Amino acid sequence: MAELEVSSGLNAASSCSNVPKVESTPVGNTFNEPHPGVEDTEGEQPPKEPRPLFMFSHVSGFPRLISQRKPSLPDKIFASALFAAGHGYPLFYPDTIAELDDDFRRTRGISLGDVGVLSPENQFIFAFNIFLPADHPYNKSKDSATPESFVPLSPLEDSEICTTVDYFPPGYVIASKGVNVVRHSEDPLHITFSSSERRGACMVLPKGATRHDISSTRVVQYVKNNAVSWARDLASRDIGTPNGSLYIVRGVDKTSVCENLAFPSRPPSVKMSATFQNGDLRPMERMSVARGANAENTLTPIPNNLCVFMRGIRVGLGRSEWVASADERIEAHTGYTEMFTDTFRIRLPFLKTGFWRIDEQAISMGDKPLFVREAFHPSDIAAQIMLCLDPNDPTAALVYDSIWSISHAVPDRNPEVQQDPLTLICSRGCSFDDVCSMFDDVFSSYEVMKSRGVLTLKRIQNPEVERDPWHIKLWRWLSGNQRIRGGTLVKQLFHQGQFHFKTNHALR
């Protein structure tokens, strides 16, 4: 069966993608009914019976999901809020933090073929590049983590790179759900922001950004052949790196200047307000956090070394592979990823200022403040779901960032709202409900495929994503044959993570 790759981002990149063909078989999928007639199924194993929900559980080594415990941090909000734009992983800090020579950050930045991990601050930490020899200064620096068995791939030809200059035109704005963007002038650029949502983010690209994507199929096959061994090597050498951390960059959106802003949950009396003027994005209240980044202006030409979105592959090891590769983790080193779960609130109508709620910041400073905080990436959750769907303990799961643009193809749902040609407003935010909704879409439109022990996601042709009518829901409930959705399993992981956190006595 041909394995279908969905291109990252919008149509400009999709025309540059080639599709490798590998023999793979479907894994039992509890989310979708069989689709006879969609493809020729001769010689393939039929889908297995759905697994009961109670068998679904956390996979060893992955971060556990919990509600927010620490104060709102801008990098976490930024990544969570703008991920729904469908352009890949948004970076509040668009330059890598690897301690390499100055020219790495000044002229290069995050690039195609980079392999690394996300730090707890949602920054990309460079390890090595697949197109550079092992003895290259970048790959042999003190902070690099080039595997001993590493054999580089020959450099990319120009024909193997899909480049779209000004994919984001100058003055482009990307904002999260609920943000109101008002353009007062284009030259000079003057924009104001407000929001109806409790938290969110926005990005301003005064100079626009250029998109680069790898279109070569040989790179995809090379990554598949080596990703598991790289993940094993990473697990064996670094006790602080959780399962699913390995990140292989296949696409980047780069610019020379960008302005980012994130705003946390706030009291009702504090309204989010920000202004972009004179080249700076400034919050007009005390709770929002803005960060600007500029390329070195003494260089000619000024380099596009700032990566605002990156697209790649996340690699997670199966249970047995992780246990065999990683050192034993003590409970105090268990990693947790915080989710934005809004607390229950009641406003008393006869009291104009009366407001009762469990304060988010009070929770964050409450029980067990010292724990290992991990980066947010939805693919870590998707990898666990994929691994749990296969009862035969697969070797690994590879999750492509391209799957998160699936909402582009979902009928009657636009993942983003285009106010004007230069403004993009996401229709999903960073709340827990929005994340669950995103997983519903993905696992209604993809099925898990297995090839040589490695799991990937394959797009279903003509997926049934419509909501069941009430009588079908009633029948499923009465018969005990309720359809399990991706968001349901995210909630299961969340409840398990909450229980683990509360009962983890190694935390202080």
* CB of 24 closer than 8 Å to CB of 3: yes
Neighbours of 357 (CB within 10 A): 14
State whether residue 501 is helix, strand or coil. Answer: helix
Please name which of 247, 302, 373, 295 lies closest in space to residue 95, comparing C-alpha atoms: 295
pLDDT of residue 410: 45
- What angle in degrees, to the nearest 10, is found between the helix axes of 432-445 and 486-503? 130
* CB of 201 closer than 8 Å to CB of 176: yes
Give this prediction's pTM.
0.83
pLDDT of residue 68: 86
* CB of 31 closer than 8 Å to CB of 463: no
Type of residue numbered 227: A
Give CA–CA dist 5/80, Å, rounded.
24
Give CA–CA dist 395/386, Å, rounded.
11
pLDDT of residue 374: 92
Q: List strands edge to edge, sheet with 64-67.
A: 64-67, 335-339, 372-373
Give CA–CA dist 310/260, Å, rounded.
16
* CB of 114 closer than 8 Å to CB of 126: yes
pLDDT of residue 210: 98
Query: Is residue 183 classed exposed, middle or buried when 0-12, 13-18 and 19+ CB atoms within 10 A define those classes?
Result: middle
pLDDT of residue 313: 97
Task: Read off the DSSP letter of residue 8.
Answer: S
State whether residue 241 is helix, strand or coil. Answer: coil
* CB of 277 closer than 8 Å to CB of 266: no
pLDDT (tens, 9 = 90+) of the chain, 508 residues, equals 334 333 344 444 444 544 344 456 776 555 544 443 333 334 444 444 444 444 578 999 999 999 988 777 899 999 999 999 999 999 999 987 776 677 777 788 999 999 999 998 889 988 999 999 998 888 887 666 788 889 999 999 999 999 999 999 999 999 999 999 999 999 999 999 999 988 999 999 999 999 999 998 899 899 999 999 999 888 887 667 899 999 999 999 999 999 999 998 877 777 899 999 999 999 998 889 999 999 988 888 888 999 999 999 999 999 999 988 887 766 668 899 999 886 555 454 554 444 444 444 444 435 667 888 999 999 999 999 999 988 889 999 999 999 998 754 443 445 455 568 899 999 888 899 999 999 999 998 899 999 989 999 999 886 554 455 655 556 555 555 556 688 999 999 999 999 999 998 888 6
pLDDT of residue 56: 79
108-139 CB burial, b ≥16 within 10 A, e <16: bbbbbbbbbbbbbbbbbbbbbbbbbeeeeebb
- What angle in degrees, to the nearest 10, is found between the helix axes of 486-503 and 378-389? 100
Strands (E), 49-199: 64-67, 89-90, 114-118, 124-129, 161-168, 172-175, 179-186, 189-195
- What angle in degrees, to the nearest 10, is found between the helix axes of 378-389 and 432-445? 50
Query: Is residue 253 classed exposed, middle or buried when 0-12, 13-18 and 19+ CB atoms within 10 A define those classes?
Result: buried
